[in-house]
Structure 1
Amino acid sequence: MTNSLDETRFSKPLIYMLIGSAFILALSLGVRHGFGLYLVPMSHEFNWNHQVFSLAIAMQNLLWGAVQPFTGALADKYGSKIVVAVGGVLYTIGLLLMSVSSEAWLLDLSAGLIIGMALSATSFSVLLSAVGRAAHPSKRGMAMGIASAAGSFGQFIMLPTTLLLIKNVGWSSALVISAILIALIIPLAWMLKAPMYSAPAAISKITQPALSFKQILKIALSHKPFLFLALGFFVCGFQVVFLGIHLPGYLVDHGFDASNGTIFLALVGLFNIIGTYTAGILGDKFSKPHLLMWLYGLRGIAIVTFLMLPLSVWTIYSFGIVMGLLWLSTVPLTNGIVANMFGVKYLTMLSGIVFFTHQVGSFFGGWLGGLNHDLTGNYNVIWACSIVLSLFGVFVHFFVNEETIVDD
């Protein structure tokens, strides 16, 4: 009876970790999602074309993904709190340097290199893996969904706040204020102390010999469903970064105010709270690969509908609500599949590998969006790519399953 009751509850250390993770993700992702609002003012002030800023953000996403498996391996070995604290320091330094970036190379260094590395330590892969290790398997999806939703709440709060700061104190001062907020991540990292969940001795399986990182990596990369899962995450990265960085500019091109793009992204953040939390709960009850197929298919339908309807404030905000429900709902489901396949001991590193493909998609979504705009004055090619990739996302998840390959 006691074990059954424990399974329905979150332990006090896990609740403490969830609170810390929630605040860290809200700050880290809230500030990060506001970067698209700096594209127009910085480009105008320094006479840059859109590709300059887009390339820096694309580099950020690519480096974030490339470093993520190594950051994950460090978190698996030394603990999440130290890795997150170091990430908070780097994030603060990157924002301060970005606030004085009057040259393209300095923007690439600050917004691209430094913040990219910082995000690998202060975002989903490290924090959700820490939460996943501490949660009971039957509640793992819900716990990850709660933590994911917190990042969305940060987006909802920080986007209008960032726009107000840019309008009232300028883009440079807005970045300095953001750096001060991000510095709070450093003390918050010490809340990530919940121990890894372990089954009671009476029902535990026979412990298998520990595998080296090289061995677990070899097993993962030879497992085709894992590779298809990674390919599917490429689609997510391409779509969310294209929309996050370029939709405000797309709306300005069509005669709308910058505030319309901000409200769109804020609505995405608000409704993503519902989407990620719901995805976490559904992932504990239904097939996660099938849920991912539905998510990518619905994204494609939403994009097609948005482009076919006359552009108005109501269609923009409705699109924001629908995309919010689908935005990062992929994250708890994808991380949950990795946990089911390989257990939680190596979850941070393996989630980081899957996340790398997400960030490759993010690189192309961010950079090609700016390149397409500079060459043609519109985003038509990238819209078409987003639709085709939705179909691809549905297709690859036909080949993903949750079969356990390595036990905890």
Structure 2
Amino acid sequence: MSTPVKLVSFTIAFACILLALNFGLRSSMGFFMAPISAEFQYGREVFAFSLALQNLCWGLFQPIAGAFSDRYGTVKTVVIGSLVYAFGLFVTANAEGVFGLHVGAGLLMGMGIAATGFGVVLPAIAKMVSVEKRAFALGLGSAAGSAGQLLVIPVAQSFIASYGWSNALLLMAVSALLMVLLASAFRGAQAEQQVHENADTQTMSEALREASQHAHYWWLVIGFFVCGFQLAFITVHMPAYLTDQGFNETVAVASLSLIGLFNIFGCLLSGSWSGKYSKKMLLTYIYALRAISIAAFMLLPMTAMNVYVFSIITGLLWLATVPPTSGLVAQMFGLKYMGTLYGIVFLSHQLGSFSGVWLGGYLYDATGSYDVVWWMACIIAMLTAAIHILIDERPVARIRAKLA
């Protein structure tokens, strides 16, 4: 029998640093919008489309990256993903027109993010730790991504200010290559994982068929679509919404910073509670609280203090869905093909993100207000909370039969 790695170990630490780099580099791309758009004189729509394409490719390639990781291992997946990620930054830095921006910042970075992010690393972490520590480890990994967002963004901004946007992207490409070294941390643990996985004779096609015929899996997929819708809408449109309400940029920056900061605590708490309490009920509470907080935000007077309180609550709930959702996939179907099955769930999240960003802009142009989208986000969150109550979080019959 193999022994799971300790929760406090170099392997887990390197996995968290890897996720911090993955999220931090990606989150910094918005600060290149102004300098790149100014140099090419395209207006902001072109590079904005590159970033939208990045998110879409991230979602589309996530199930593929997860399946590759399940079949060939985390190390190979992260190494290839890191090289593609770095190459995407390199191509963007040397882009001479629209095509280069879309290929570099859009297609290549989207593929690289998919192969080095949550969909690949969290299943690897889940396989490395003991069952009782799994939920907290997933929360720790989720929190690491948010911490990277807070830590890497200031560095990227300083690179732009000191060296210009092109050289800043080249420095970030070198930083992305560090993930190749971090991938080696999975090598020793991967051999131990294989012992357990070889005992499971289920094929990937059988795993996909089993999940596709399991209604409760699809309810998880629907829930993550709603999560992505809300997060992307707030991330992209919150600054403009606050400007419409008469606030200056300082309030918008503080709002998003508070969301990022308190997301760290929310992920850690969610991970801890996922190991102690019902994961489906935790998700029910998270989505219900999101709905209540949005309704209160819309109904209460629009003051700076209320904006900050809403941001803190939103931050606590931001990625708090990740540990229980990924944990439920592992709990229901086992670990062997967790990367593939969680990748499909995450694809739904990204489709929700695309919908939230697009509908936010479309309905604002149509109505002159974001109110319709805010209330839409509120209603679907409440419906999602109700759906999660019905989820059967027990392992599927195949696993229950083995445990009997």
The Cα of 1:317 is off from its aligned counterpart by: 3.0
Among candidates 390, 393, 398, match of residue 389 of structure 2: 398
Given the superposition, is the C-alpha separation of residues 80 and 257 from structure 1 closer, same or farther in structure 2, using an over 3 Å criterion? farther
Structure 2 residue ranges without an equivalent (≥5): none
The residue identity in structure 1 corresponding to 2:218 is: L
The residue identity in structure 2 corresponding to 1:232 is: G
Counterparts of 1:106-121 in structure 2 under 5 Å? Answer: 106-121=100-115
Q: Could you tell me how far apart the structure 2 residues matched to 1:374 and 1:314 are?
A: 28
Report what 1:58 is aligned to: 52
Among candidates 266, 271, 281, match of residue 280 of structure 1: 271
Q: Could you tell me how far apart the structure 1 residues matched to 2:155 and 2:243 are?
A: 19
Among candidates 218, 225, 229, match of residue 234 of structure 1: 225
Counterparts of 1:8-407 in structure 2 under 5 Å? Answer: 11-12=5-6, 15-40=9-34, 42-43=36-37, 46=40, 51-101=45-95, 103-166=97-160, 169-193=163-187, 194-195=189-190, 210-254=201-245, 256-373=247-364, 378-405=369-396, 406-407=398-399
> Number of residues paired by the alignment?
397
The Cα of 1:42 is off from its aligned counterpart by: 4.5
Given the superposition, is the C-alpha separation of residues 31 and 235 from structure 1 closer, same or farther in structure 2, using an over 3 Å criterion? same
Q: Could you tell me how far apart the structure 2 residues matched to 1:177 and 1:313 are?
A: 37
Given the superposition, is the C-alpha separation of residues 209 and 15 from structure 1 closer, same or farther in structure 2, using an over 3 Å criterion? closer
Given the superposition, is the C-alpha separation of residues 249 and 35 from structure 1 closer, same or farther in structure 2, using an over 3 Å criterion? farther
Root mean square deviation, CA, Å = 3.0
Q: Could you tell me how far apart the structure 1 residues matched to 2:366 and 2:95 are?
A: 25
Given the superposition, is the C-alpha separation of residues 102 and 299 from structure 1 closer, same or farther in structure 2, using an over 3 Å criterion? farther
Q: Could you tell me how far apart the structure 1 residues matched to 2:20 and 2:325 are?
A: 20
The Cα of 1:159 is off from its aligned counterpart by: 3.2
Q: Could you tell me how far apart the structure 1 residues matched to 2:374 and 2:94 are?
A: 33
Assess if the C-alpha contact under 8 Å between 2:6 and 2:129 holds in 1: no
Assess if the C-alpha contact under 8 Å between 1:37 and 1:248 holds in 2: no
Assess if the C-alpha contact under 8 Å between 1:134 and 1:196 holds in 2: no
The residue identity in structure 1 corresponding to 2:376 is: C
- Pick which of 314-323 and 275-284 moved more: 314-323
Q: Could you tell me how far apart the structure 2 residues matched to 1:254 and 1:304 are?
A: 17
The Cα of 1:294 is off from its aligned counterpart by: 0.8
Given the superposition, is the C-alpha separation of residues 386 and 161 from structure 1 closer, same or farther in structure 2, using an over 3 Å criterion? farther
Assess if the C-alpha contact under 8 Å between 2:51 and 2:106 holds in 1: yes
Q: Could you tell me how far apart the structure 2 residues matched to 1:298 and 1:369 are?
A: 21
The Cα of 1:236 is off from its aligned counterpart by: 1.0
Q: Could you tell me how far apart the structure 2 residues matched to 1:168 and 1:369 are?
A: 35
Q: Deviation per CA, 1:241-288, whole angstroms, max 9, x where unpaired? A: 222233234345555554543433332222111111111111111111
Q: Deviation per CA, 1:203-224, whole angstroms, max 9, x where unpaired? A: x9xx976111111100010000
Q: Could you tell me how far apart the structure 2 residues matched to 1:310 and 1:100 are?
A: 48
Assess if the C-alpha contact under 8 Å between 2:73 and 2:190 holds in 1: no
Q: Deviation per CA, 1:39-62, whole angstroms, max 9, x where unpaired? A: 455556655566544433332222
- Pick which of 108-117 and 17-26 moved more: 108-117
The Cα of 1:344 is off from its aligned counterpart by: 0.6
Assess if the C-alpha contact under 8 Å between 1:300 and 1:390 holds in 2: yes
Q: Which runs of 4+ in 1 moved over 6 A?
A: none
Percentage of matched positions with identical amino acids: 38
Assess if the C-alpha contact under 8 Å between 2:123 and 2:335 holds in 1: yes
Structure 1 residue ranges without an equivalent (≥5): none
**Does the residue aligned with 2:336 lie in a helix, a strand or coil?**
coil
- Pick which of 108-117 and 120-129 moved more: 108-117
TM-score normalized by structure 2?
A: 0.87
Assess if the C-alpha contact under 8 Å between 1:14 and 1:135 holds in 2: no
- Pick which of 240-249 and 34-43 moved more: 34-43
Assess if the C-alpha contact under 8 Å between 1:95 and 1:176 holds in 2: yes
Assess if the C-alpha contact under 8 Å between 1:99 and 1:172 holds in 2: yes
The Cα of 1:32 is off from its aligned counterpart by: 1.8
**Does the residue aligned with 1:285 lie in a helix, a strand or coil?**
coil
